[in-house]
């Protein structure tokens, strides 16, 4: 456990990121325990996911997502080599950051009941191994056993020891094939809002090898992170904002909601913080070039060749610093003091931001 506490690196299974296996509430909803998600393939086929919750325990909720993340962290520490992972309730509660009291133990068992009873069915999905479309049903947790805190030792079994066991297909076909992405669980568990956690899980996967990503508002809210449906997109945006603001305020990513031509009329844009800074520099450089070229035109002379080189492509490649340097070189060839002073004001951006 000490080694895990220092690194706090776990894994997130890709199927469970892309579909709404977990709800955002900790209460059992009155809605149907079946969620259906339709995808679309380039060949025109429409594969579907069905998440089927237990009629007694319901669909896995926000607490179950946390417990799943803790289980993945323990399994990651074993390099995904064991389907059956030794654990006890006290260790899991410590990993989750919960208080060590009776209510926490009840929440933990409820989450395991949800995770061990949910079924995920995928239909018309292409299987690479066979080259055929398949219909398959699988679970998440295959079973668990924990000993009561005050149970007496029996033979060589420690009274606090137990285990959880992953679903066979989930483990053999996904975890062992590394259909997972690393996730910083220290950051994940530091969020207090279930929407923040769901968004962090999603952007962690989408921005892992990319600087930016865009997704339709409804697709993100309903088909991915498990939000209840609302009549208007403005209601969805309002529900997402606490999670978006928490991630933005902590500078983990930059999330913005923009109008678009998509299904909902809005799209959600995810960007790495460094990528946004680069975009701002490009925008500033474009303004610098535009102002300079406008001024040279007003003065009745064509722009210098070095100024023309500041095209969008060059700016994106070289950034603001290179744009400044090219203009400095241009200034050396032009001695009119009024022009010199004007362009200097464009170069010194601190007072113009």
Q: What does the DSSP assignment read for 164-213?
A: EEE-HHHIIIIITTT-EEEEEHHHHHH---HHHHHHHHHHHHHTSS-SEE
Of 70-79, 145-154, 207-216, give the range with the top mean pLDDT. 70-79
Q: Is the pLDDT of residue 277 over 80?
A: no
CA-based angle 231:239:272, to the nearest 5?
125
Give 302-350 pLDDT, tens digit per residue.
Answer: 555 555 555 555 555 656 666 666 666 555 555 444 444 544 444 443 3
Structural domain boundaries in the chain: 2-190, 212-271, 275-347
Q: Please give the order of strands across the beta sheet that includes 119-127.
A: 34-38, 48-52, 119-127, 132-138
d(CA 240, CA 195): 7
pLDDT for 109 equals 96
Please list, in sequence order, all residues whose beta carbon lies within 8 angstroms of the beta carbon of residue 39, skipping any fewer than 6 positions away.
46, 47, 48, 49
How does the average pLDDT of the chain come out, rounded? 80
Kindly compute the dihedral angle of the four CA atoms of residues 178, 24, 270, 128, in this order, to the nearest 10 degrees: 30
pLDDT for 46 equals 80
pLDDT for 130 equals 75
Per-residue pLDDT band for 286 (boundaries 50, 70, 90) equals low
Give 188-203 pLDDT, tens digit per residue.
Answer: 999 989 999 999 999 9
d(CA 12, CA 68): 9
To the question of pTM greater than 0.85 for the whole model, the response is: no
Across residues 212-216, what is the average pLDDT? 92
In what helix (H) or strand (E) does residue 265 lie, and over which residues does it extend?
none
């Amino acid at each position: 456990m000490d080694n895990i506490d220092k690194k706090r690196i776990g894994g997130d299974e890709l199927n469970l990121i892309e579909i709404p296996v977990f709800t955002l509430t900790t209460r059992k909803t009155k809605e149907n325990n079946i969620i259906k998600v339709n995808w679309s393939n380039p060949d025109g086929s429409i594969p579907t996911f069905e998440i089927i919750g237990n009629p007694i325990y319901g669909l896995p909720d926000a607490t179950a997502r946390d417990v799943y993340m803790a289980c993945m962290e323990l399994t990651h520490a074993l390099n995904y080599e064991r389907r059956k992972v030794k654990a006890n309730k006290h260790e899991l509660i410590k990993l989750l950051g919960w208080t060590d009291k009776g209510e926490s133990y009840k929440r933990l068992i409820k989450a395991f009941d949800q995770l061990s009873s949910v079924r995920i069915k995928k239909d018309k999905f292409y299987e690479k191994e066979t080259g055929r479309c398949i219909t398959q049903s699988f679970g998440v947790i295959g079973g668990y056993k924990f000993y009561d805190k005050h149970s007496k030792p029996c033979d060589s079994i420690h009274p606090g020891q137990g285990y959880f066991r992953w679903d066979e297909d989930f483990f053999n076909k996904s975890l062992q094939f590394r259909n997972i992405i690393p996730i910083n669980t220290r950051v994940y568990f530091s969020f207090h809002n279930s929407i923040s956690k769901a968004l962090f899980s999603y952007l962690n996967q989408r921005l892992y090898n990319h600087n930016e990503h865009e997704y339709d508002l409804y697709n993100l809210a309903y088909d991915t992170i498990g939000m209840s449906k609302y009549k208007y997109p403005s209601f969805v945006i309002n529900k997402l904002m606490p999670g978006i603001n928490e991630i933005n305020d902590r500078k983990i990513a930059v999330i913005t909601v923009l109008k678009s031509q998509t299904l909902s009329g809005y799209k959600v844009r995810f960007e790495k913080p460094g990528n946004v800074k680069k975009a701002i520099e490009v925008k500033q450089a474009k303004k610098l070039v535009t102002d300079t070229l406008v001024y040279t035109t007003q003065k009745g002379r064509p722009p210098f060749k070095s100024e023309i080189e500041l095209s969008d492509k060059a700016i994106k490649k070289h950034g603001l610093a290179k744009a400044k340097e090219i203009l400095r070189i241009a200034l050396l060839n032009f001695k009119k003091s009024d022009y010199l002073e004007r362009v200097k004001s464009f170069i010194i951006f601190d007072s113009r931001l």
